[in-house]
Amino acid sequence: MRRRTAFFDTETLSALREGIRQVVIVAAGYDGRALRFSAPGVRWFEVDHPSTQADKRARLDAAGVAAEHISFVALDLTADDLEAALQLAGHRRAEPSIFIVEGLLGYLPRPVTSKLLSTLGVLAAPGSRLAVAFPIVPRHPKISEKIHLKLRSMVVSAIGEPWLVRFEADEPDAILEAAGWEPATSDRSPNGRARFEGRQGVLICARPLGSGPVPTLGAR
């Protein structure tokens, strides 16, 4: 989890340093990046289910937290039109954005994931980025890993948030390409691509497919 959080923090800050001024967090939940990384001229769009978002907004109001720089976009990703909702919220399609999809894809049916990533590709102006996490089945899993994943699956199901899918380790690249994305470059990766694979997840920072040479991401 710490590795994943650090990855998304780094890619968000890198995008802001490059001059991207729109941040779209899909399934934002109680994510605090819009508060931690707020900056003049940067607009944040937090997309989430209406009930979750209403609770978060109530908590922010109760705590007296200013959130004028955040556009809250309430919708159900399995049924509603994300493109139309973001447009209504003031997202500027002609300007670059960074799209953040962190702890979501394991809970969506595969067709919804494909549609979501394709929609973000349509909304991605030149210079945009997508930071995304894919939960995966470990390559050649050990017995202990199989047991651990089974127990975690039972726990999340018990609290009403069952996993619907875990991807094979090589699937994310093909899924992203079909949706109009390709891994960006990174000076933090041995192969020069912003793709990091762990035992249970793949983290990728992608750019619109065929966008040509771009500045290296993640420079420190």
pLDDT per residue of the chain (220 residues) written in tens, 0 to 9: 788 999 999 999 999 999 999 999 999 999 999 999 999 999 999 999 999 999 999 999 999 999 999 999 999 999 999 999 999 999 999 999 999 999 899 999 999 999 999 999 999 999 999 999 999 987 666 677 666 666 665 665 555 566 678 899 999 999 999 999 998 987 665 566 788 987 778 999 999 997 754 444 443 3
Per-residue pLDDT, 215: 43
7 contacts 33 by C-beta, under 8 angstroms:
no
Per-residue pLDDT, 155: 60
Q: Could you give the domains of the chain? A: 2-208 (3.40.50.150)
Per-residue pLDDT, 165: 86
Distance CA 200, CA 145 (A): 9
Exposure string of 186-219, with b = 16+ CB inside 10 Å and e = fewer, is bebbeeebbbbbeebbbbbbbbbeebeeeeebbe
174 contacts 209 by C-beta, under 8 angstroms:
no
